[in-house]
Amino acid sequence: MIEIGGIALLPEWPLFLGFVVAGLALNIVPGADMTFVIASAARGGRRDGIIAALGIGAGALVHLLAAVLGLSAILASSPAAFDVIKWAGASYLLWLAFSMLRARSAPPGEARPAGGTGWRLFRAAMLVNILNPKVALFFLAFLPQFVDPAASAPALQILFLGLWFDLVGTLVNVGVAVATAGAAARLRHVSWVGRAARWIAATAMAALAVQLVLSERR
């Protein structure tokens, strides 16, 4: 195992391999983050899709740090805090859906979904993740299950497990972005594809907003 000064940064190999398998399975399940990446790549091309994937990864880092610092525990124990973030996240997803419907249809590379510049798109992707309290609770519930009970610094193991999970998730989203951009480029000559993709993405965002509103703390 990786150690610094005699402190194990990761659990023993059997436990870590179980974490790798479980983490990969969870990362390939579509959610608000992957939906945003797909929408970005379909309408803005490979560059926008990759920027969105990196923004989602940056948002996950915020949740990871919150879990390590114990802020997620506060969120888990405070219904009011959970509801505030939940409604803020749902409102933001609805705004993204509205922005997608308002934007004109264009071939990949000519349009920028709900963000314009690369930085604005990166920031929008971060907010999609940050404003989802279920992600915070997920880190709080999932990562500690794979921490070595005998670890002298469990917070460090949570941090490094979370960094691994975020890295794999970012790579998965980058792959999804590249594949989506390639498919969109092959279909760019079909006039109705852009409009259909925009409506599908907007509907998915709105559905995720409703799902978030209806979600409860576990």
CA distances from 110 to 47, 85, 179 (A): 11, 33, 18
Euclidean distance between CA atoms 60 and 169, whole angstroms: 9
pLDDT in tens, the chain (218 residues): 555 556 677 778 888 899 999 999 989 988 888 989 998 898 888 999 999 999 999 999 999 998 888 776 766 677 887 788 888 888 888 888 887 777 654 444 444 444 457 999 999 999 999 998 888 888 888 888 888 777 777 888 889 999 999 999 999 999 999 999 998 887 766 666 667 767 777 787 788 778 777 876 65
Token pair, residue 39, equals 């929408």
What is the model's pLDDT at position 201?
Answer: 72
What pLDDT shows up at residue 106? 45
- Which single residue is written with the structure tokens 């500690």? 144
Burial of 25 (C-beta count, 10 Å sphere; 0-12/13-18/19+): exposed
pLDDT of residue 52: 96
Q: Where are the domains of the chain?
A: 31-214
Whether the CB-CB separation of 146 and 12 falls below 8 Å is answered with no
Per the document, the length of the chain is 218
Q: Which residues contact 129 (CB under 8 A, 6 or more apart)?
A: 32, 33, 55, 56, 58, 59, 60, 62, 63, 135
- Shortest CA distance to 188 belongs to which of 131, 100, 113, 106? 106
Q: Give the closest residue to 99 by CA, choosing from 85, 111, 89, 82.
A: 111
